[in-house]
A and B are shown apart, each in its own frame.
Chain A
Amino acid sequence: MQTRAELDRKNLDSLENPYSSIPAEITGIVDESPTIKTFELEPEEPMKFATGEFIQLSVPGLGEAPFTPSSSPNVTDTLEVTIMEAGEVTGKLHNMSEGDIVGIRGPYGKGYPLEEMEGRDVLVVGGGVGLAPLRSLLYMLTAQPDDFGKICLKYGARAPDHLIYKDQLDDWGSGASEIDLELTVDEGDEDWEGNVGVVTNLLEDLDMDTEKGVAVVCGPPIMMKFTTQSLLDHFESSDIYLSMEKNMSCGFGMCGHCQLGKYYVCKDGPVFTHDQVKDIPDLWE
C-alpha cells in the first residue's frame, strides 16, 4: 500500500487508468466445438502476458468477462482466447465476426510458475474448455523441453466433437511430440475408439515421477474436485496447481467479487496450489 505521504508526492496526472480497455480487432475465428470458439485478437498495442495470467475482454457496450489467453506469450502481436458460450457476453462474442472490435485490458493475476516446474515431470489435466490456459502453458513447456522433465497431458471432454484444439491434439498424440497425450470422453460415438469415462480414470497409473513432479489442473469445478482428490494420492499438496473460477468485475483486487477465503482470485490467483486453498470451506461450491 502507498502511504499518504508517498501519495502526496506522486504525480497522479500520469497514472494509468486501470479501468480503460484498448481496442483489439478479431483477426481470426476457429470453431473448436459446438459451443467453443477460439478468437485471434490483434490489439492496437501488443499486450504482453505470462502464461496463466488473464485478461478482461469486453463486448463494447455490453460488458466484460475474464479469459486466460490460450496462445503462447512468445507471440506478441496477437493473442488468442478460447471461449465457451455460457451467457450474455460469451453469447455475443460467438456471434461476432472477423474485423469486429472488442476491448481488452490486463493482463492480471499470477500465472503458472514455470520456474517451479523446471527440471521436473509435469502432469497437465484438463477438462472441456479448461484446456485453454493449459494450451498456453504447454506451448511454453514444449518451447524449451530440455528445461522440464516428462510432460503428460490428460484431457477429457463431454463427447468427441467437444474436444478442442483437434489439430494440436493430433500433433501431440503423434509420438513426434514431447507431450505424452491421453484423451477420454464421457460418451463416445460410432467413430470413437479411445477411452470412455471421466478424466480421473486416466490418473490411476501415471508413468512419471510423481513424487518430484508437479500437476496442473483446469476444468469445471466438479472435475477439479475429483481430479484433486485423486492427485493427492501421488503429489504433494503444494505441487498441485489449480485454476479457481470466481465472479470477477475489476480483475485487480478492488471490487471484491472474486473473494476466496483470505484471497482475491484475480490478484492472488487465478492459479493456486492446493495447499493454499485446501482449508477453505465449500471450496468447490
Chain B
Amino acid sequence: MGIYKMTDRNFISLLDSISSDRELFVPTNDQEETSYKRWDNLGSSAVHFPKYRLNTPVKTFFFPPKESVSRFPSGDFKPERDKRAIFGLKQCDLASLEVLDQIFLDDEIIDPFYATRRQDTLLISSDCYETLDTCFCNKVEGQPFPKDGFDLNLIKLPGEEDLLVEIAGESSLGKEVYEANQELFDPAPENLLEKLSSSRRSMEEQLDENNDFFEIPEDVGNISPKHPVWRGVAEDCVECGACTMICPTCHCFQLYEQTEDSTVNRGKVWDSCSFEGYSRVAGGANPMESLESRVRNRFYDKFGRFYENHDFYGCTGCGRCIESCMGEIDMRDVLKEVSVANQS
C-alpha cells in the first residue's frame, strides 16, 4: 500500500477511530517499557512510542497462559470473537507470531483459538529507536524495524513532530483502516524518508556492534549432547522456567481436565521443557530427566528442530530470556562457546 505522513494529532485521532470498533491495547510508560494497557482506560497522554520491545511477549494475546478449549460430553465449545488491535509491536514481536503461525496454523489442523484471535487482531508495529544490550535480532535474520507481518507500521523518529505510517501491501485490515481514515494520511516528505533510512541504518550498526562477539553455529541440532557447554549451563540453571514463559515463541502446553457439575472442562496451560516432568512417560521413564538434557533442548529446538523444519530460526533475538534469567545464562555466550568448540 505505501508510506504516508501523519501529524501527531491525527495519530491520536487514528487510535480513537481504531478503538471505536476494536479493543485497543497500547504500551504505557508508567513503568519501564513493561506492558500493554487498554487505550480506553488511559487517555491519549499516556500513550507513547516504545523505544524497544516491551517485556510482555505478544504471544499472551493469542496463546494465553491458561484457557478453556473444550467441554465434554457436549463438545460444543467455540472461541469467542473479539476485534482487537495492538499498538507498539516491534519486529521481533511480529517475527514471534510468524513462528507461532507455523505451529498453530498447520496445514492439517488449525488451533481455532489462536486462529480467530489472529484473524481478529489488527497489528500496529513501530520501529526500534534504541536497542537493549540483550537484543540480537540481527543474528537471527531479523532487523530493528518491521519488514512484514504488520498491518500498520507507525514510526515516530526521535525529534520529529510528525509520524510516518506504512501500510502493508497484503494486509486487508491495514487497507480497511486506511480507507476509513483517509483524511488523516498525508504524502510522506522526502526528508522524513531519508531520516528514516538513516535511523534504521544506525540501529542496525549498533546491533552489529553489540553482537559481533558471536555467531549462530550451523547445525545446532547435531551438537553433541555430551558437549561440556551443556553441563555449564545446567550448573547455572535454577529450573524456574522463566526463559520459556517469557519467550515469545515458546508454545509448549499441557491439556488438563476439570469437572464442574457434570460437565468436564478441558483446558490448555503453558508448560515448559525446563520442568522435570515435561517428558516423563508411563512407568516413570523420562528421556529428559537430567537438567542438562533440558537446558540443551531449548537450543536444539530454537536453532535446530525449528530451523530444519521451517527454514528460519525459532528464536527472534528479543533477548527476554537473557534479561529474565536468575542464573545469568546468556544464550549468546552459549552459542559462542558451542561454535568455538565446533570449529576445533
Contacts and interface: CB of A to CB of B under 8 A. Distances in A.
A62 B266 CA distance: 10
B266 A19 contact: yes
A196 B119 CA distance: 61
A58 B69 contact: no
Interface string A85-104: 01100100000000001010
Given A10-B119, A12-B115, A61-B264, A17 B251 contact: no
A23 interface: yes
Interface in B229-284: 251-259, 264, 266, 268, 271, 273, 278-283
A254 B287 contact: no
B186 interface: no
Interface residues of A, number: 50
B258 to A, nearest CB: 7
A262 B297 CA distance: 11
B305 interface: yes
A20 interface: yes
B78 interface: yes
Contact of A23 (B73, B78, B310): B73
Interface residues of B, number: 64
* Most chain B beta carbons < 10 A, residue from A19, A61, A252, A257: A19
Given A19-B69, A255-B252, A262-B221, A86 B149 contact: no
Contact of A20 (B70, B101, B282, B287): B70
Contact of B257 (A23, A62, A221): A62
Nearest to A21: B72
For the residues of A in contact with B, the DSSP-based class is loop
Contacts of B222: 279
Interface in A156-201: none
Interface string B103-123: 111111111100110110000
Given A58-B72, A262-B305, A256 B271 contact: yes
Interface string B61-76: 0000000011111010
A262 B115 CA distance: 25
A8 B168 CA distance: 14
B301 interface: yes
A285 interface: yes
Given A1-B310, A21-B75, A60-B259, 20 more contacts: A1-B101, A4-B149, A15-B110, A17-B78, A19-B77, A19-B255, A19-B266, A20-B71, A21-B72, A23-B73, A58-B72, A86-B283, A87-B282, A245-B281, A250-B253, A255-B271, A257-B278, A259-B305, A261-B221, A262-B308
21 contacts: A2-B101, A2-B106, A4-B118, A12-B79, A17-B75, A17-B77, A17-B78, A18-B109, A18-B111, A19-B266, A60-B264, A61-B259, A63-B255, A86-B282, A246-B287, A247-B278, A254-B104, A257-B252, A257-B279, A262-B305, A285-B287
